[in-house]
Structure 1
Amino acid sequence: MKTTGIGAVLALLCCAPAMAQQADTWRDPGSGIEFVRIGKGCFQMGTDAPNKFVRGEKPLPPMPNEAPRHEVCVDGFWMGKLEVTRAQWQKVMQGSAANVELPQRPATHVTREDALRFIERLNAQGGGKRFRLPTEAEWEYACRAGASEEPLPQTLEDARKVLAPIAWYDTTTHGSADTRDVATLAPNAWGLHDMLGNVLEWVQDTYLENGYAQHARHNPKVTQGGERYVLRGGSFKSEWWNTRCGARLFGVPGDPSWVTGLRVVREADRK
């Protein structure tokens, strides 16, 4: 059986197209958060591929919450180049976070309510720019960075070779009880670091297992439900099969998980 070379798998799992885009960046002067401009576009969200990466000898059906595979189009936006760091959290929240050590590590123990309060303060200090959490579709679009497919590693060794250059996850952190400094591994093709691994990232959408069946084609966002919210990207404690652009997890309001942080979107300027 023909197999995909590791180089090609890395390029696609890391979501890199053949040609990386030239990053157009902007830094918020108050918080120091840097953003990368993400142009509008369409992509295939989700997967219908057999689930070959979970434990077991035989491929399983696709993950139910990642189906059906469907076309989604998003407008342009500015994505945080990095996960929000502890130093940035302190600057915006004015000392309200308990964990102030290792300032270039991602902010952790961030509840959904914490994330929304952070963004509220960021907007109050933002000089007219508007900030928010990404939608789930925007997050996956930015993570894939132009790749049409996300190949699934066939073995643990394949996953290790694919993920080690780009993601802090359970294998590369060797069972550590903490994150790593942001931007210490390679970015994806659009210049975004740690889209996979390090901390799980809140997005706007309510988590529904069948949420994709309810998506609009243009700028979809699931808002009904409300008891659980989507988390994306995997963390430093995640297994390799959850450290993918397409993997969907969830958190509940009020839960300050030690593996949960955030990445912020700046809305495009209105013309």
Structure 2
Amino acid sequence: MRTLSVLCCQFTSLIVGVYLIAVTASGAEPGSDRGSVQEIKNSVGMKLLFIPPGKFLMGSPESEPGREAQEVQHEVELTKGFYLGTHEVTFGQFKQFVADTNYQTEGERDGKGAYGANEAGKIEEMHARFTWKTPGFEQTDEHPVVDVSWQDAKAFCNWLSEKEKKTYRLATEAEWEYACRAGTKTAYVHGDDPEGLATVGNGADATARAKFPGWSIGIQGKDGHLFTAPVGQFKANAFSLYDMHGNVWEWCEDWYVPNSHPQEKQIDPTGPATGKAKVQRGGGWSSDSKRLRSAARVGRDQSAYRGCYLGFRVVLEQSPAEAPKESGTAAEKPAGGRVAYMLLVNGAVTDAVVKAANIEGHRSVVAPYIGTWHDIKGMERIQSGRLDRLERGEIDTLLIGTLHCYPHAETWNNHVGLDSTPAGLAALGVKNNPTFHIVWQTYVWPVGQMPKDGKKTLDVAAMKKRAASEPLKELEKLVDAINEKHGRKVVLISPVGVATIKLVEMVAEGKFPGITDPADLWTEFNMHSNRHVLALTAYCNVATMYGVSPIGLKPDFSQVTYGGGGKGPGIQSMEGITEEQRVILQNIAWEAVSKYPHAGFATTK
């Protein structure tokens, strides 16, 4: 097969600037609220995120420090997605449950209380003075509830289920580890070094040892908290879940049986049929680093055990009709359209993702030539005959990219009204093709130093500042004006800028495997996007164009190349994105697109 080369400054260029993408989709109007949102907020103010189905290696490799023999590593496939609490259930949320039901925890009912902490930081034996309301240290409504048994946690889930007429429960052990890992295979989500826990979780550390001389465990760094921390104080994982390492151990649905992990592959496992204890995962504020690993597991009595370092988070089950639609499924699969790629656009990468999504009818067509990206400043500037294909209604999808985020581009400055080129292209397209739409992709141009001695640098803070600047708001206003004029959503915005900033942050924080320097997300000489940013861009494009999630797609990039223009390093292959990286990129893209109203998805109330 002939290699598809994408040359800089041709129709399928490397640089992905501001895209104008027209789309055709079957069923719902493109740009209408499509499917379920990826984040919901329930009746008690709890945020839950959709965790997509997938495969992962559960357990730990034999070489992992702190590993226990029971953590047999084996493949697990989860065939159904689920919603999981972004945070652990808080004191305030549990207080709502108690106020609504007059519930008494098992420690309150049997008079034995729970394990609590004294002023010296020592965990004392169970006593009636220790309950979820008085664990031995101060708790606000934003701290995780503690000193609750597995039965107490289940009672909370049952209350929520009855209250909302939905099914709430605890996570299975497999769901919990899958959500914790979020595509990683290392001991912790940030890598294998336990010292990194200071930024991602609340465990035993130098903070506690300085206050409590009796402590000897924990990392050398400081996480800043002696006991529990308010939820969400540390960095989230790639699924945007907080406190999966530390703060409080979390109850799971499964019975705990030591050494119960099999060696063979499991599909949707729910644990042993019976047992004498229930699984706890994640470690707590008093745990040593080995207990905070993604694979670490313990088991405790479901009724009698109540600890001041033990809480829970909840799962919300979704029926197939309610869950966000995954790409490539037969149900409500969108129809493709005729796509024209213009100016600085990588069409080959986008086509590969569309093909992986199994979107029938999608095909690339020759784009109209309206000049270089320097020239666009009004429809009257476009030479006669160059818009013939739009005038004949032969294009359903128009994809156009420029170097800078329009309307910030100098060549388009002060050209953002209904007499602008984008507005003119939208009007011409709709006039001759009633299914014509535009999806406009934002892009964050890298801010940093060009290489002098073979080493480039990236200013992450400056990039974030630029991404949050006024041009995006101006862009949204222009899109709103165009859509209002036509009485429907002719133009959508694909939030690649938001997704790119998220990727830059993850690399800077050491949470994106295989890349340690954010500058390496752009090519060595000309600061054009590398394969990871190009793939992320395509995932956002396809999600916005067709209203489908890119999660789980496995595009074939083996025949796709990029680069080759200017002073760049030459033609490069799109191959080289690892499975772990692919999962993270797809989750970043879907997180950005599905939460962005201008991409046509519902907002969360």
Please tell me the TM-score bracket, short chain as reference.
0.7 to 0.9
1:163 is aligned with what amino acid? L
CA–CA distance in structure 1, aligned partners of residues 163 and 148 of structure 2: 20
TM-score, normalising length: structure 2: 0.37
Q: Which residue of 2 aligns with 1:236?
A: 285
Residue 164 of structure 1 contacts residue 172 of structure 1 at CA under 8 Å; is this kept in 2? no
CA–CA distance in structure 2, aligned partners of residues 262 and 236 of structure 1: 14
Structure 1's 78 and 50: CA in aligned 2 closer, same or farther, altered over 3 A?
A: same
User: Which runs of structure 2 are paired with 1:49-60 in the superposition (5 Å)?
Assistant: 49-53=62-66
Per-residue deviation, 1:215:
7.4
Structure 1's 186 and 228: CA in aligned 2 closer, same or farther, altered over 3 A?
A: same
TM-score, normalising length: structure 1: 0.80
- Are 1:83 and 2:88 an aligned pair? yes
Residue 173 of structure 1 contacts residue 236 of structure 1 at CA under 8 Å; is this kept in 2? no
Structure 2: segments with no counterpart, 5+ residues: 1-36, 104-131, 210-224, 322-605
Q: State the identity %.
A: 31
Q: Which residue of 2 aligns with 1:204?
A: 253
With a CA cutoff of 8 Å and minimum separation of 6, indicate the structure with the bigger relative contact order: 1
User: Which runs of structure 2 are paired with 1:214-229 in the superposition (5 Å)?
Assistant: 217-229=266-278
Per-residue deviation, 1:270:
3.2
1:159 is aligned with what amino acid? P
- Are 1:268 and 2:268 an aligned pair? no
- Are 1:166 and 2:192 an aligned pair? no
Residue 229 of structure 1 contacts residue 251 of structure 1 at CA under 8 Å; is this kept in 2? yes
> Alignment partner of 2:208: what SS?
coil
2:39 is aligned with what amino acid? T
- Are 1:70 and 2:74 an aligned pair? yes
Q: Which residue of 2 aligns with 1:122?
A: 160
**Residue of structure 2 aligned with 1:139, choices 166, 169, 176:** 176
Q: Which moved more, 1:81-90 or 1:202-211?
A: 202-211
> Alignment partner of 1:170: what SS?
coil
Structure 1 ranges of 4+ moved more than 4 A: 151-155
CA–CA distance in structure 1, aligned partners of residues 190 and 156 of structure 2: 36
CA–CA distance in structure 2, aligned partners of residues 142 and 174 of structure 1: 28
Structure 1's 101 and 41: CA in aligned 2 closer, same or farther, altered over 3 A?
A: same
1:211 is aligned with what amino acid? S
Per-residue deviation, 1:81:
0.2
Per-residue deviation, 1:216:
6.3
2:292 is aligned with what amino acid? T
> Alignment partner of 1:205: what SS?
strand
Structure 1's 228 and 117: CA in aligned 2 closer, same or farther, altered over 3 A?
A: same
Residue 79 of structure 1 contacts residue 265 of structure 1 at CA under 8 Å; is this kept in 2? yes
Structure 1's 116 and 179: CA in aligned 2 closer, same or farther, altered over 3 A?
A: same
Q: Which residue of 2 aligns with 1:148?
A: 185
CA–CA distance in structure 2, aligned partners of residues 152 and 204 of structure 1: 23
1:133 is aligned with what amino acid? L
**What is the CA deviation profile of residues 93-137 of structure 1, one whole-angstrom value per residue up to 9, with x for unaligned ones?**
2164534941100000010110111111111111x3211000000
CA–CA distance in structure 1, aligned partners of residues 70 and 187 of structure 2: 16
Residue 111 of structure 1 contacts residue 256 of structure 1 at CA under 8 Å; is this kept in 2? yes
Residue 254 of structure 2 contacts residue 279 of structure 2 at CA under 8 Å; is this kept in 1? yes
Structure 1: segments with no counterpart, 5+ residues: 1-22, 54-61
Larger proportion of helix: 2
Per-residue deviation, 1:179:
0.5
Aligned residues: 235
Per-residue deviation, 1:27:
0.7
Structure 1's 218 and 102: CA in aligned 2 closer, same or farther, altered over 3 A?
A: same
Residue 74 of structure 2 contacts residue 263 of structure 2 at CA under 8 Å; is this kept in 1? no
> Alignment partner of 1:125: what SS?
helix
CA–CA distance in structure 1, aligned partners of residues 231 and 188 of structure 2: 25
CA–CA distance in structure 2, aligned partners of residues 261 and 215 of structure 1: 31
CA–CA distance in structure 2, aligned partners of residues 159 and 151 of structure 1: 8
CA–CA distance in structure 2, aligned partners of residues 147 and 241 of structure 1: 17
